[in-house]
């Protein structure tokens, strides 16, 4: 039987950490299929986590005696798609094509709600530094608070953080858990009376010229103020310009569906490259997962407090919950908070306000990502 020993090389190389990663991968697949939590990403990440943790897996780079280093497909995709920032940036074209900035253009005050809800990024950065992470790793962890997967990947990869794997898992997991995290955090800091505040919506017409000039203008403004955010915001606004131009409907549809789907497909499984047991099963991973939750709670709470602060000076009070919709998790956050409003008062329709704040959060999170890259040398 000894001559068949080569069939056991994989089994002999297996360790308990790899088995633990299989369980984590299976857990992510379970959440994707059974709970419908961000299935487009958690399922590929989960399966990828299993594939890269099979001993001697040819999915990742392996040193094969007699051949040297043989490149695995997942490491290849990581080097070409994430290390070069290609996947997150191309995904932004699709996201830009999906977003209708109409509710924001008809009520631009919502931009400030988007700005306030980025506090989670910086609050978490500070907390991560206090816990002993170096500044670049702390910034990469803080950006989980952007509630925006591609921005998190972009920033963490820019700083060449060794925690890209846990950061991605935390970012996408918590985005899918927005319906649980945000109501919990909002209820902690608001009263029932505040949650029942009605905000009448007066629909305003937005001209086509405004819709076309908006993505061009935002790119110019962001580019001049925070040049390092331009690759993110430029691609986002490029997608939106395609959508609003009215002459590229076919490209707009492709960007929204085929392009976004294709990149998402590869993005998920490629992230698994950074989920190999030796790097992933660490105490730091647990701390990062915890900090990710803190980031989302900070975003939500600070967004609420910002509106409460504004209410001190305004006659027509705003519902503080709308401030929490300023995070970038679009459109989930807008829907969740709208439903919370309806639950408190079945006649309280907050949706158009929350959508406005939510798309503002998309712009603000990208600018925040660019500013962090610019400010941390």
Partner 1 sequence: MFGKMDMVDFIEALKVMGKGMLGIFIALTIVYLFVLLLTKAFPADKENADTEN
Nearer to partner 1, 124 or 176 (CB): 124
DSSP one-letter string for 86-99: HHHHHHHHHHHHH-
Q: Please check whether residue 60 is in contact with residue 274, taking contact to mean a CB–CB distance below 8 angstroms.
A: no
Q: Please check whether residue 90 is in contact with residue 97, taking contact to mean a CB–CB distance below 8 angstroms.
A: no
Q: Taking the complex as a whole, how short is the minimal distance between the CB of residue 137 and partner 1, in angstroms?
A: 8
Nearer to partner 1, 32 or 281 (CB): 281
Instruction: Report the C-alpha gap between 181 and 102 in whole angstroms.
Output: 27
Instruction: Report the C-alpha gap between 230 and 370 in whole angstroms.
Output: 7
Q: Taking the complex as a whole, how short is the minimal distance between the CB of residue 268 and partner 1, in angstroms?
A: 27
Q: Please check whether residue 168 is in contact with residue 152, taking contact to mean a CB–CB distance below 8 angstroms.
A: yes
- CA atoms within 13 Å, Cβ hemisphere of 48: 27
Q: Taking the complex as a whole, how short is the minimal distance between the CB of residue 133 and partner 1, in angstroms?
A: 6
Q: Taking the complex as a whole, how short is the minimal distance between the CB of residue 129 and partner 1, in angstroms?
A: 4
Instruction: Report the C-alpha gap between 86 and 307 in whole angstroms.
Output: 37
Nearer to partner 1, 32 or 138 (CB): 138
Nearer to partner 1, 237 or 275 (CB): 237
Instruction: Report the C-alpha gap between 34 and 42 in whole angstroms.
Output: 12
Closest CA to 117 of 349, 370, 368, 312: 368
Nearer to partner 1, 169 or 222 (CB): 222
Nearer to partner 1, 86 or 129 (CB): 129
Q: Taking the complex as a whole, how short is the minimal distance between the CB of residue 197 and partner 1, in angstroms?
A: 21
Nearer to partner 1, 1 or 130 (CB): 130
Neighbours of 199 (CB within 10 A): 18
H or E element at residue 68: strand 68-70
Angle in degrees, CA 10, 57, 28, rounded to 5: 105
Closest CA to 317 of 183, 193, 204, 188: 193
Instruction: Report the C-alpha gap between 131 and 51 in whole angstroms.
Output: 32
Q: Taking the complex as a whole, how short is the minimal distance between the CB of residue 368 and partner 1, in angstroms?
A: 6
Q: Taking the complex as a whole, how short is the minimal distance between the CB of residue 246 and partner 1, in angstroms?
A: 9
Which residues does 295 contact at the CB level (< 8 Å), separation at least 6? 120, 121, 123, 124, 141, 142, 144, 145, 174
Q: Coil, helix or strand for 146?
A: helix
Nearer to partner 1, 37 or 92 (CB): 92
What residues line the site for partner 1 (CB under 8 A)? 102-106, 108-109, 111-112, 114-115, 118-119, 121-123, 125-126, 129-135, 138-139, 203-211, 213-214, 217-218, 221-222, 225-226, 283-284, 287, 352, 360, 363-364, 367-368, 371-372, 375-376
Instruction: Report the C-alpha gap between 239 and 216 in whole angstroms.
Output: 11
Q: Taking the complex as a whole, how short is the minimal distance between the CB of residue 191 and partner 1, in angstroms?
A: 26
Neighbours of 236 (CB within 10 A): 29
Nearer to partner 1, 10 or 290 (CB): 290
């Amino acid at each position: 039987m000894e001559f068949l020993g080569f069939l056991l090389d994989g089994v002999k190389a297996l360790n308990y950490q790899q088995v633990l990663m299989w369980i984590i991968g299976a857990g992510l697949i379970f959440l994707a299929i059974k709970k419908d939590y961000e299935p487009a990403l958690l399922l590929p990440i989960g399966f990828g986590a299993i594939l890269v943790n099979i001993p001697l897996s040819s999915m990742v780079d392996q040193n094969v005696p007699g051949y040297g280093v043989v490149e695995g497909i997942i490491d290849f995709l990581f080097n070409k798609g994430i290390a070069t920032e290609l996947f997150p940036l191309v995904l932004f074209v699709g996201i830009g094509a999906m977003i209708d900035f109409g509710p924001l253009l008809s009520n631009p005050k919502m931009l400030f709600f988007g700005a306030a809800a980025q506090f989670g990024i910086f609050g978490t950065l500070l907390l991560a530094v206090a816990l002993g992470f170096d500044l670049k790793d702390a910034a990469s962890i803080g950006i989980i608070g952007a509630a925006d997967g591609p921005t998190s990947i972009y920033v963490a990869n820019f700083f060449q953080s060794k925690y890209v794997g846990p950061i991605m898992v935390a970012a996408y997991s918590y985005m899918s858990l927005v319906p649980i995290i945000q109501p919990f955090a909002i209820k902690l800091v608001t009263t029932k009376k505040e949650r029942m505040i009605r905000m009448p919506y007066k629909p305003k017409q937005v001209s086509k010229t405004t819709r076309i000039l908006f993505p061009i203008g935002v790119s110019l403004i962001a580019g001049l103020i925070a040049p390092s955010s331009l690759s993110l915001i430029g691609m986002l606004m490029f997608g939106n310009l395609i959508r609003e131009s009215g002459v590229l409907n076919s490209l707009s549809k492709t960007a929204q569906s085929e392009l976004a789907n294709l990149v998402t497909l590869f993005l998920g499984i490629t992230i698994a490259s950074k989920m190999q047991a030796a790097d992933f099963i660490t105490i730091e991973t647990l701390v990062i997962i915890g900090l990710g939750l803190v980031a989302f709670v900070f975003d939500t709470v600070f967004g609420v407090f910002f509106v409460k602060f504004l209410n001190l000076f305004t006659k027509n009070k705003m519902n503080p919950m709308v401030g929490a919709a300023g995070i970038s998790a679009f459109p989930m956050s807008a829907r969740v908070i709208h439903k919370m409003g309806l639950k408190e008062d079945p006649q309280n329709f907050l949706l158009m306000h929350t959508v406005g704040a939510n798309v503002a959060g998309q712009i603000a999170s990208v600018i925040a990502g660019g500013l962090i890259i610019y400010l941390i040398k």
